[in-house]
Amino acid sequence: MKKYLFVAMFLFFCGNIIAQTGTDYVGLTRSVLKKEKKVAVVEAMQLTDKEGEIFWPLYEEYNSELYKVQNKRVAVIKEYAKSFYSMTDEKADKLWTDFMKFRDDLINLQEEYFEKFKEILPAVKVVRYFQFENKTEMLINAKIAADIPLLKELTK
């Protein structure tokens, strides 16, 4: 139940990301979500005390790195919003390239930490954790996709 509360809160906060692209808004949202996400992970993972002792430090490390990668998506969204009504072919190409770099970096980070988590937990629990992360990411992506309008070709 708590994990659904987390997702609902995240989607609520992300709803206006295009309209409110200020750093304070993004930072506040991330701060609230960090706490809510951890509560949801506790529920999803059901770790023993011993597993928790070794999981949480790596979780914090991973999420610190994930935050840096997610900054790239936030930057692309901000730039998209800023350029929406004056988009050029060059700018559109750069935005797409930057977005693909974000996705590549995200996949690389997930691959790296999947292996690190497998060193400390059984593979079944590691997969459960990354399933949770993947489901959360998919919901976020769906909300962002719904909120960000498609580009229109400008008349010349």
Residue 9 in domain: no
- Answer whether residue 36 is part of any domain: no
Q: Does the residue 24 lie in any domain?
A: no
pLDDT 10s digits, 94-132:
999 999 999 999 999 999 999 999 999 999 999 999 999
Number of domains in the chain: 1
Is 58 domain-assigned? yes
Q: What percent of the chain has pLDDT over 70?
A: 79
Q: Which domain holds residue 116?
A: 46-147
Note whether residue 122 is domain-resident.
Answer: yes
Domain assignment present for 10? no
In angstroms and rounded to an integer, the radius of gyration of the C-alpha atoms of the chain is 17
Tally Cβ neighbours within 10 Å of residue 41: 21
- Asked if residue 71 is part of any domain, the answer here is yes
Residues 20-36: tens digit of each pLDDT:
445 556 676 677 778 88
Specify the higher pLDDT residue, 13 or 149: 149
